[in-house]
Amino acid sequence: MKRVILALVIVLAGRFTASSQTPDWSSSVAAIIYNHCAVCHHDGGIAPFPLMTYEDAVSRAFSIQTNVLAKKMPPWPADPQCSNEMVGDRSLSEEDINTINDWVNGGMASGDLNSAPAAPTFNNGSQLTSIDQTVQFPAYTVQNMQDEYRTFVVHSGYSLVTYLNQLEFIIGNTAIVHHILLYYDPTNTSYTLDQNDPLPGYASSGTTAASPFAVLIGGWVPGNTPEILPSNMGYLIPPNSDFVMEIHYAPNSNGKTDSTKVNLKFCTDPSPRNVMVSPILFHYWPSLINGPLTIPANTVKTFYEKSVGFTIDLDKDYSLYSVLPHMHLIGKSLEVYMTSADNSDTTRLICIPGWDFRWQLGYVFKHLIHFTPSDGYTLRAEATYDNTSNNPNNPYDPPQTITLGEGTLNEMMVVFFSYLEYQDGDENIDLSTVGINEVGDSDPLNIQLYPNPAGDELQISCWLPTNDLTLRILNSTGAVIKTITTGHQPKGMYAVSVPLHSWPQGIYYLEMQSGEHKEIRRFVKAE
C-alpha cells in the first residue's frame, strides 16, 4: 500500500510540475503572436509597431498583457458565442490568454530561440503572397475642413473579361482616410467626370456612385485585411472598364495628402463564379422598418431592417459569402440574422455586442450560407445607438440629436453582403482553407506529409494528443473530397497512406483535428 501511495504522489507531483511550468517565447508565446498578431504588427503593417521578434514582444510585453486580458487585442468585435462560425477568427482562447499572462508575470523567458517558429514574411507592406496588378490612384491633397468625398478613376487596361480573386487596399495616409468604396464602370461616365474637374478625381456625395453604371466590388474600413476569395471565385470586371474609387476623408484633414493604391490578384480558374456585393440591408424605407434613422439627444434607441427587392432578386437563391456591418460613433451593438417566413427558423449570422467604430471588419463565413428569399427567408438586422453622455464615443458634449448622414458625426446603418448565385453543395464548401498561412504554426499534432509534392501516394503521420481523430482532404475551393477517418483512435502515433493515382494535378489541403487541436496542411498532387 505504501508503494502505491508513493507512486501516486510521484505521478501527481510530476503533473503539477508540468502544468505549472512557466511559458516561454520559443515553445508557446511566439506561435500565438505570429498566428494572431503579426498580420498587422509587422514592418509596413497597419499597426504602430512590429511584433516579429522576441525582442519586439519583450519591449511591448506589459502593453500586450493589458490589452489581451481586456480582450481589446487582437481586434475581433464579433462575439463567437452568438455569431456564425467565421474564417480567420483572431480572438484568443482562454488558454492563449493565460499563456501570455503567465509569460509576462513569469519574467518573459525566451526559451531556446533556435527552436522558435520562424516569423511570417510579408511583401513590402502587403499581406498578399503575390500580386498581379497594382492600381495606383493619384495623390490628392484634401481641400476641406469638413468631411470630403473624392472619387478617383483609373483605366483598368483590360481587353477581356477579368475576374479579381484577391483585393488589398494600401492606404496612403491612414490618419485621414475614413473609408473607401471600390467600383468598376464599364462606361466612360466616371472618367469624364474626373477629366472635367481640374483637381485629381472629382467631388462626390458618399451616398451612391456618381455614375449610374458603376458597380460596387469592394471596400475598406479601418481594420480590414485583404479580400481573398476561393480560387474558383472572383469579381467580374468587363473589358475596357475603369476602376472607380470613392474615398471619404475625415474632418480636419485640410492640407493633408493621400495616395492610395489597390493590389490585385487575378482568378485563373477556367470557369470562375461571379461574386457580387450589395448593401442588402440599408437605412432607408422599405429596408429600415422603424425609420427615420434619428437618435434624439439623451436617448438609447434600437432600429430594425429587413431585406427587400431593391438590391437582390427575391426569386433567386443565393450563397452568402461574407458580411460587413457599418455604423458610426454612437453605435452600441448590432446583430444580423436570417428568418423563415413564419419566424420558426432563425439563423444567427453575426452579433457585435460592443460596437467599435475603429474596428469595422468584413467577416467571411466558414461555410457558405444558403439564403432562399424565394422560400420566404429574410435577412434582418437590429442595431442600438447610445446618444447619451454615458457613451465615451459620443462626439457631442452635451449630447445633440444625431441624424442619418454620410459624415462621421452623423449615423448610418448599412450591412454589406458578398454573395453568389446558389449552386448545389455550396453549404459544404469550407472557406477556412482560403488564404492559409502555415508559417509560425506550433503544430502540436506534429503532422508529416511525404512526399510533397506527391505522386501516386501520400504518406501521412501525426501525433494524437487525444483518442479521437477527424482527417479530411479538401480541394482548393474548400470542398471536402475525401474523409479518411472520423471517430475513435488510440492516442499516440498515427499513420495512414492515401492513394492518389486517379487524382488530378493541383493543390489540396489536409485537415486534421484531434480534441481541441486543429491543423490544416497544404500538399501538391503532381504527375
DSSP codes joined into one string, 63-90: HHHHHHHTT-SS---S-TTSS--BTT--
Q: Are 163 and 267 in contact (CB under 8 A)?
A: yes
Residue 240: is its pLDDT beyond 70?
Answer: yes
Asked whether residue 227 carries a pLDDT value surpassing 50, the answer given is yes
What's the pLDDT at 16?
40
Residue of 454 and 142 predicted with greater confidence:
142
* Residue 93: per-residue pLDDT: 86
**CA separation for the pair 500, 82 (Å, rounded):** 40
Given a cut of 90, whether residue 8 has pLDDT beyond it is no
The cell numbers describing 488, all together, are: 475513435
Across the range 360-380, mean pLDDT stands at 93
d(C-alpha 108, C-alpha 215), whole Å: 51
The continuous run of DSSP H or E covering 351 comes out as strand 346-352
Helix axes 61-69, 94-105, angle to 10 degrees: 150
Residue 5 — pLDDT band, cuts 50, 70, 90? very low
* Entry pTM: 0.72
Q: Which are the contacts of 527, defined by CB distance < 8 A and separation ≥ 6?
A: 455, 505
User: Facing residues of 350 across strands?
Assistant: 336
Looking at this protein, which amino acid is placed at residue 28?
A: S
In angstroms, rounded to a whole number, what is the distance separating the alpha carbons of residues 86 and 396?
Answer: 35
Residue owning grid cell 507592406: 125
Residues 163 and 120: their CA atoms lie apart, in Å, by 28
* pLDDT higher at 475 or 93: 93
Checking if the pLDDT of 211 tops 90, the result is no
pLDDT at 371: 97
Which domains, and CATH codes, for the chain? 19-115 (no CATH), 133-274 (2.60.120.310), 278-428 (2.60.120.230), 443-525 (2.60.40.1930)
Q: Which of 192-206, 218-232, 270-284 has the lowest mean pLDDT?
A: 218-232
Copy the grid coordinates of residue 485. Answer: 477517418
For residue 357, pLDDT beyond 90: no
Q: Distance (Å, rounded) from C-alpha 324 to C-alpha 414?
A: 8
Tens digits of per-residue pLDDT, 289-316?
999 999 999 999 999 999 998 888 999 9
For residue 38, what are the contacts with CB-CB under 8 A and spacing of at least 6?
50, 51, 52, 119, 120, 440
Q: Give Cβ neighbours of residue 426 (< 8 Å, ≥ 6 apart).
A: 319, 368, 370, 420
d(CA 308, CA 281): 8
In the structure, what pLDDT confidence band is assigned to residue 464 with cuts at 50, 70 and 90? confident
Buried b (16+ CB within 10 A) or exposed e, 374-391: eeebbbbbbbbbbbbeeb
pLDDT at site 2: 47
Beta bridge partners, 185, equal 242
Region 9-17: what's the mean pLDDT? Answer: 40
Beta bridge partner(s), residue 79: none
Residue 303 CB: number of other CB atoms within 10 A?
A: 21
Predicted confidence band of residue 139 (pLDDT cuts 50, 70, 90): very high
* pLDDT of amino acid 379: 98
Residue 342: pLDDT over 90: yes
First to last CA, the chain: 64
Q: What average pLDDT does the segment 278-299 reach?
A: 96
Q: Is the pLDDT of residue 491 over 50?
A: yes
For the purposes of burial, counting CB atoms within 10 Å of the CB of 468, is it exposed (0-12), middle (13-18) or buried (19 or more)? middle
Work out the average pLDDT over 456-477. 84
Q: Count Cβ atoms within 10 A of the Cβ of residue 400 and give its class: 0-12 exposed, 13-18 middle, 19 or more buried.
A: middle
- What does the pLDDT read at residue 6? 45
**Residue 12 pLDDT exceeds 50:** no
pLDDT band at 11 (very low <50, low <70, confident <90, very high): very low
Report which of 313, 419, 314 is spatially closest to residue 365, judged by C-alpha positions.
419
Question: What percent of the chain stands above pLDDT 90?
Answer: 53
Rg (CA), the chain: 25
Q: What is the mean pLDDT of the chain?
A: 87
Mean pLDDT of 236-245: 96
pLDDT for residue 10 is more than 80: no
Query: In the numeric block, which cell numbers belong to residue 276?
Result: 457580387
For the ranges 65-74, 360-369, 458-467, 477-486, the lowest mean pLDDT is seen at 477-486
Omega prior to 292 cis, within 30 of 0: yes
Given this model, what pLDDT does residue 463 score? 80
Pairwise CA distance, residues 319 & 427, whole Å: 8
Lookup result for grid cell 429574410: 378
Sorted by sequence, the CB contacts under 8 Å of residue 309 that are 6+ apart come out as none
215 pLDDT band, cuts 50/70/90, is: confident
**Collapsed DSSP state (helix, strand, coil) of residue 309:** coil
The residues near 413 (Cβ < 8 Å, ≥ 6 apart) are 281, 282, 283, 288, 293, 303, 305, 326, 327, 381, 383
Angle at the Cα of 170 from the Cα atoms of 167 and 173, rounded to 5 degrees:
150
